[in-house]
Amino acid sequence: MNDKYDHIVVFITAGDSEEAGRIARGLLEQRLAACVNIVGGVDSRYWWRGQLDEAKESLLIVKTKGRLLPEVMASVKKLHSYEVPEIIALPVIGGSDAYLDWLDREVKA
């Protein structure tokens, strides 16, 4: 197990696959992420302005470093159409050393 617990996974929902692709490309081109998975067809239900709402969305799963989270959030906010985009980061507590080392090499220093 890699003992560097500074890796994170960030969940971001987007209005559609086109927007998700634009956000993913932006994060990758800026080297703010090593990998972004896009999961289409997410059925979201949530509270918005005091009412229950629902939407079909795409989910981005972003693999990056914790120190890059402020830049990831700033970039997403510039590229996102939502007034309040979902940006939630979770720590990676372990994983394949080879994968985590690759992640370290692929994001900006």
**DSSP 3-state assignment of 56?**
strand
Q: What share of the chain is helix, strand, coil (3-state, %, to 5)?
A: 35, 40, 30
Token pair of 24, please?
């993913």
pLDDT tens-digit profile of 8-45?
A: 999 999 999 999 999 999 999 999 999 999 999 999 99
Rounded to whole angstroms, how far apart are CA atoms 104 and 109?
8
Q: With contact defined as beta carbons under 8 Å apart, do 38 and 27 qualify?
A: no
pLDDT tens-digit profile of 74-84?
A: 999 999 999 99
Domains and CATH numbers, the chain: 7-106 (3.30.70.120)
Rounded to whole angstroms, how far apart are CA atoms 23 and 97?
27
